Amino acid sequence: MKEARLLFVQIDHVSGEVTGFAIGKIMELGANNVQLIPTLTKKNRPGNIMIIDTDAEHEEEISKFLARELKVSGYHRINTSHIFQKVTFIKKNLTIKVNGVEKSFQCNIKLIGDASKPLSVDIEHDFLVKMQELLANELNSSISLSVLRTTIESKLQESEDRIIIDI
């Protein structure tokens, strides 16, 4: 369990470009996560609710940034406790075959729950993006991220250290 804060910030009169810029800067200032929910305000104008997950030590700098860049004069804060499942990372060798050509990689696999009997097995998004680019550039194969994720994760349940996938 980790003590944290959720800041609920109402934003209107700000363009999408500025909002996108703000999300990046808020992450740089120490937010753990930033989410944006589109809304309609009381005058039927479009707006957003920004939810910022942060620690107490970063809130003051984030608050100053919100006032300076987004003209936010106040926000709601909820003190929370973040409950975590146990997470273990293991390495597996992954071989992908496309039209008879093989490419091998080592990838990190995230196990959620007890590692001997995980509740969930996950492959990181950044790794999938790199895989997709490599498949396109080196093997001239186009495959969507969702299909790539499903194909790889379906094989992750196997106990072997080496996974072979034929695309």
User: In total, how many domains does the chain have?
Assistant: 2
Range of the structural domain that residue 141 is part of: 87-166
For 57, the enclosing helix (H) or strand (E) is: helix 56-70
pTM for this model (two decimals): 0.68
Task: Identify whether residues 78 and 98 lie together within a single domain.
Answer: no
CB-based contacts of 114-117 (< 8 A; 24+ apart in sequence): 114/86, 115/86, 115/88, 115/90
pLDDT exceeds 70 at position 159: no
> What is the domain-level CATH number for residue 75?
3.30.70.1380
d(CA 50, CA 37): 6
pLDDT exceeds 80 at position 68: yes
Task: Identify whether residues 71 and 98 lie together within a single domain.
Answer: no
> What is the domain-level CATH number for residue 138?
3.10.20.300
Task: Identify whether residues 63 and 121 lie together within a single domain.
Answer: no
Task: Identify whether residues 76 and 94 lie together within a single domain.
Answer: no
Domain boundary among 43, 67, 82: 82
pLDDT the model gives residue 91 = 87
Task: Identify whether residues 59 and 125 lie together within a single domain.
Answer: no
Least confident of 72-81, 91-100, 124-133: 91-100
